[in-house]
Structure 1
Amino acid sequence: MMSSFFELSGVTKNFGGVQAVSKMTFSMEKGELAGLMGPNGAGKTTVFNLITGVYDPDEGSILFKGENLVPLKTFQVTARGVARTFQNLRLFQRSTVLENVMTAAQHHVPYTFVEGITHLGRWRSKEREIREKSMTLLERVGLADRAGQAAGTLPYGYQRRLEIARALALDPELLLLDEPAAGMNAEEVASLNLLIQDIHRDFALTILVIEHHMDLVMEICPHIICMNFGAKIAEGTPREVQNHPEVLKAYLGEEEDE
């Protein structure tokens, strides 16, 4: 029996006496677009931190293409083909939009340290390739005309797009988007939905989206995992999850009480 492209099995993480993630189990097939949703504080970002080696789980396994990621450091996970964005933007604010993407695109450039310092040998041709690749990615996310602008001066929604372009520059097979719609208005969220769907299709990526707001996840993700207090409470199609009694109680109940 073939294993899934990506799979969490019994993943648990405790911080002191608090169980942030409890026996989290789900899997994704190659090419899926899935959503991980739940109320604020449900443990969603902790799951991403466990996947990417920021935290080590206390129990369980995280398999990507059959390899257990648990023993690996963050840079090793990235090298395996896993890239992420962050809930709190982590751009180089004073660097240009283009420089932010080029920095990520250099992660597996074959020129030597000496060539990089002297700008001799393969450096010139590789630097040209990196620039062209980075500009292509900026064009894909609608930021090519802002390539020379300092990243920190971009409108917030555009900074979110830049972070996605930077993650794509790492050439991932699995892309993790941590609350990409945070702080956006309804129009920006609708535009982001289209961008994520286009990237999913055009780059043939497997994408897992964390989102607190149900609108984005329900619209674009055929496969949804819902969690609360660190544990999975439902999994299935948008309709199945939306009508699940535990989700109504834990998630939709927030809105009903307001």
Structure 2
Amino acid sequence: MLEAINLTRHFGSRTVLEDVSFSVPANGMTGFVGANGAGKTTTMRIIMGVLKSHSGSVSFNDTAITAAHRARFGYMPEERGLYPKQQVLDQLNYLGQLHGMSRTDARTEAIGLLDRFGIADRAKDKLESLSLGNQQRVQVAASLMHHPVALILDEPFSGLDPLAVDSMSSLLAERAATGVPILFSSHQLDLIDQLCDNLVVLSEGRIVAAGSAEELRARAHSRHVVVTPPDAGWLREQPGVSVLDVAGPKALVEFADDATGQRVLRAAIDRGAVTEFAPLRPSLAEIYREVIR
């Protein structure tokens, strides 16, 4: 497990991170979300040792993180860090060897990853000749070359087409299943909801929500869909009920507590037919929007 503990960072008089703590468990993916300038990239740079925190620490498997740990991490910065005028395969080979791989193993791994991303036919091309989406694929391949023990990915899905997103999602899920903790940032909330077992939400340098998907859903407002023909408007008059939307027989409501929900259900049955009375499971995207308001 990767853990950030009370990280604080200033740039001059401006505090960009304040007492930031969260964990990235093994065997799953953790989504790191927040508006531009929330502090996500700064946090990732501190984890990787690119920046120093002014207070706080980072640990890996309950041990203070070291340069040796970080050498075994896979890191993809938001600003692509590869060489535009070098051939794709050559630089992946080079990066693999920097991580201690043999030339043969590095070449085999690079070709395998490029094939997974559907760009093996561009292996001999210069990076700058590729589209931005294909450059992104190469950048992610570079972070995976040495079979890292943890992955820190800053906007890995940016600029990718749907097929590339599917390929990358599948590959990351495979790595997570082997016990690799994966932290990635993204503004694509649908992907966060689809892929992530855990969520960390940062706003103006502070954590406003963190935990597993189920933990966060349990803390969210409990909403129900109620369908009571012919008209659900009567729910507006019920104590303890917040009616968010009504369209004919269908209403979206929040109950003050479970007892209120049971009382309303009995009242609906007494009035006639009840064709639907169901909790509405919030998406992680909806949870994100709620906590940053």
Q: Does 1:28 align with 2:28?
A: no
Residue deviations 1:168-189 (CA, integer Å, cap 9, x gap): 1133110111011223456654
Give the SS at the match of 1:30. coil
1:78 pairs with 2:70: yes
Q: How far off is 1:109 after superposition?
A: 3.3
Residue ranges of structure 1 left out of the alignment (5+ in a row): 111-125, 254-258
Q: Is the 8 A contact 1:61 1:68 kept in 2?
A: yes
Task: State the partner residue of 1:200.
Answer: 176
CA contact (8 A) 2:8 2:17 kept: yes
> 2:204 matched to 1:213?
no
Q: Secondary structure in 2 aligned to 1:109?
A: coil
Deviation sequence 1:121-156 (CA, Å, 0-9, x none):
xxxxx4233222221222233222211111111111
- Other structure's SS at 1:31 match: coil
Q: What letter is aligned with 1:66?
A: D
2:209–2:291 CA contact under 8 A, matched in 1:
no
**Amino acid in the other structure paired with 1:155:** S
Question: Do the aligned residues in 1 keep the contact of 2:85 with 2:128 (CA within 8 Å)?
Answer: yes
* Maintained 8 Å contact 2:106/2:145: no
Partner of 2:37: 41
- The structure that is strand-richer by fraction is 2
Q: Distance in 1 between matches of 2:126 and 2:206?
A: 40
Q: Which residue of 1 aligns with 2:243?
A: none
8 Å CA contact retained: 2:28, 2:179: no
Out of 89, 95, 108, the position equivalent to 1:104 is: 95
**Partners of 1:67 and 1:167 in 2: CA distance:** 23
**TM-fit CA distance, 1:21:** 1.0
**Greater mean deviation of Cα atoms: 208-217 or 231-240:** 231-240
User: What is the Cα deviation at residue 51 of structure 1?
Assistant: 0.2
More deviation in 191-200 or 51-60?
A: 191-200
CA contact (8 A) 1:235 1:241 kept: yes
Q: State yes or no: 1:181 paired with 2:173.
A: no
Call closer, same or farther: CA 1:108–1:213 in 2, change over 3 Å.
closer
Aligned counterparts of 1:215 and 1:23: Cα–Cα separation in 2 = 28
Determine the C-alpha separation between the residues in 2 that align with 1:19 and 1:217: 27
Change (3 A) 1:244 1:57: farther
Query: What is the CA deviation profile of residues 107-127 of structure 1, one whole-angstrom value per residue up to 9, with x for unaligned ones?
Result: 2438xxxxxxxxxxxxxxx42
What residue is the counterpart of 2:198 in the other structure?
Answer: 223
Gapped regions of structure 2 (runs ≥ 5): 222-286
Equivalent-residue separation in structure 2 for 1:96 and 1:235 (angstroms):
41
1:233 to 2:208 alignment: yes
Kindly tell me the number of residue pairs found equivalent between the two proteins.
227
The residue aligned with 1:169 is: 145
- Separation (CA, whole Å) in 2 of partners of 1:54 and 1:197: 26
Higher relative contact order (CA 8 A, sep 6+): 1
Letter in 2 for 1:47: T
Larger Rg: 2
Q: Distance in 1 between matches of 2:103 and 2:214?
A: 48
Q: Following TM superposition, by how much is the alpha carbon of 1:17 offset from its aligned partner in structure 2, in angstroms?
A: 1.3
Counterpart residue number, 2:116:
140
Residue of structure 1 in register with 2:131 after alignment = 155
Contact residue 226 and residue 241 of structure 1 kept, 8 A: no
Q: Which amino acid aligns with 1:102?
A: N
Q: Tell me: CA distance 1:226–1:13, structure 2 relative to 1, closer, same or farther (3 Å).
A: same
Q: Distance in 2 between matches of 1:161 and 1:29?
A: 25
Q: Distance in 2 between matches of 1:77 and 1:17?
A: 32
TM-score (ref. length: structure 2): 0.69
Q: Percent identity?
A: 27
**Residue 130 (structure 1) aligns with:** 106
Match in the other structure for 2:289? 248
Q: Distance in 2 between matches of 1:158 and 1:148?
A: 13
In structure 1, give the amino acid aligned to 2:31: G
- Could you report, residue by residue, the CA deviation over 1:26-51 in whole angstroms, capped at 9, with x for unpaired residues? 11222221111111111000010000
Instruction: Give, as a single letter, the amino acid of the residue that structure 2 aligns with 1:39.
Output: A
Alpha-carbon distance, 1:214 to partner = 1.2
Residues of 2 paired with 1:172 and 1:190: CA distance? 21
